[in-house]
Amino acid sequence: MREEDRIKLEEIRKNLEIISQKKIETTKGLEQVQAKLKDIEKEEETLKSKKIELASKEQDIKTGKIQLTVEMDKARNKLESGEKELNEKLEEFEKAKEGAFKKKLL
């Protein structure tokens, strides 16, 4: 074998070794990318689940607000009714008191 051919053959072997190393590095990098992709897909599923849960909680809050408004309206009506009744009773009391005072004076 000629010296020139031996040099070329040695260069080819070195290049094959470099290519082989690069292939190993690329394979490792690809495995890392695939692992990260799986992590991202899991996170995406988790986020989807949390989004659904959040929408449900948001609906619960809306329902709660409606219920609270209804109950507050009921309480307000009862309070107004009670206040009206109290005012009527106070008025009756004042009239009875005045009547009793007038009877006492007579």
**pTM metric for this prediction:** 0.54
pLDDT higher than 80, residue 105: no
Distance CA(101)–CA(16), nearest Å, equals 121
| Predicted confidence (pLDDT) per residue in 72-83, tens digit | 999 999 999 999
- pLDDT higher for 103 or 61? 61
Torsion region of 94: left, alpha or beta (phi above 0 gives left; psi -120 to 50 gives alpha): alpha
| Predicted confidence (pLDDT) per residue in 8-52, tens digit | 999 999 999 999 999 999 999 999 999 999 999 999 999 999 999
> How does residue 101 score in pLDDT terms, banded at 50, 70 and 90?
confident
